[in-house]
């Protein structure tokens, strides 16, 4: 039964995500930030809050070029199996398990031209507090951190530590990209903490903006 659920839940979840993608209308705010980086041959380090991850597998579906850090836990295994169905490669690790090895793998992936994704507040939180994984990788690779978030006008917000957002079918979705966070190669511990705080503030500001997006008259421009 456990083995069945390990694969059944991801399969059902992937179907729901695809249903969301097919039926929801969306607007993407400031995607030119990502486009500019990619046109310059820069593969950014993507990051977003744990509670705002559900729509991104669909947004980047079946490209088979993204590596995402996933916790080697029971819940993480379910998430990892779901992401594999959308063409993501999984790097197992977290702050609590296999952290150093995962960081080493992600650094090499980025240096080899790959694209990596990290959950900003990790697999256990605290919610909306950025961990330092993305900042460390940015320092070691010279690549910028690209913050992202999304919201939906019709959704279910779970009563979990991360306030996980699940869009409802036929809702409107707004996706937002933020200005990149750059970390100098010679950053000491003090600068690293400043950059971590910068990333955290940027994600919080973006989340506040996107959570108020559908209260604005301009939200009618969604396609």
95-123 mean pLDDT: 88
The dihedral over CA atoms of 196, 202, 205, 209, expressed in degrees to the nearest 10, equals -150
Domains of the chain are: 2-216 (3.40.1130.10)
Q: Quote the percentage of the chain above a pLDDT of 90.
A: 83
CB of 172 closer than 8 Å to CB of 219: yes
Which range is least confidently modeled, 70-74, 77-81, 118-122? 70-74
Report pLDDT for 218.
Answer: 55
162-176 mean pLDDT: 97
Report pLDDT for 124.
Answer: 87
Return the structure tokens found at 31.
Answer: 């995607």
pLDDT averaged over every residue in the chain = 92
Within its chain, how far is the Cα of 129 from the centroid? 14
Residue 179 has pLDDT above 90, yes or no: yes
**Given pLDDT bands bounded at 50, 70 and 90, which one contains residue 221?**
very low
Return the structure tokens found at 129.
Answer: 């507090």
Q: How far apart are CA 101 and CA 144, in angstroms?
A: 21
Report pLDDT for 6.
Answer: 80
| Phi-psi label, residue 96: left if phi above 0, alpha if psi -120 to 50, beta otherwise | alpha
The SS3 call for residue 184 is coil
The SS3 call for residue 63 is coil
């Amino acid at each position: 039964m456990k083995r069945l659920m390990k694969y059944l839940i991801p399969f059902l979840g992937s179907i729901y995500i695809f249903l969301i993608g097919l039926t929801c209308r969306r607007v993407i705010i400031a995607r030119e930030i990502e486009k500019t980086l990619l046109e310059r041959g820069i593969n950014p380090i993507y990051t977003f809050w744990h509670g705002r991850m559900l729509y991104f597998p669909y947004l980047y579906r079946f490209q088979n070029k993204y590596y995402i850090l996933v916790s080697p836990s029971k819940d993480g295994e379910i998430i990892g199996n779901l992401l594999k169905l959308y063409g993501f490669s999984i790097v197992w690790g977290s702050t609590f398990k296999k952290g150093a090895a995962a960081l080493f793998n992600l650094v090499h992936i980025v240096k080899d031209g790959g694209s990596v994704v990290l959950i900003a507040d990790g697999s256990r939180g605290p919610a909306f507090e950025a961990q330092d994984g993305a900042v460390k990788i940015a320092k070691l690779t010279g690549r910028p951190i690209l913050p992202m978030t999304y919201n939906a006008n019709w959704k279910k917000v779970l009563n979990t530590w991360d306030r996980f957002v699940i869009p409802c079918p036929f809702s409107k979705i707004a996706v937002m990209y933020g200005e990149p966070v750059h970390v100098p190669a010679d950053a000491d511990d003090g600068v690293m903490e400043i950059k971590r705080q910068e990333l955290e503030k940027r994600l919080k500001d973006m989340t506040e903006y996107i959570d108020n997006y559908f209260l604005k008259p301009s939200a009618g421009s969604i396609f």
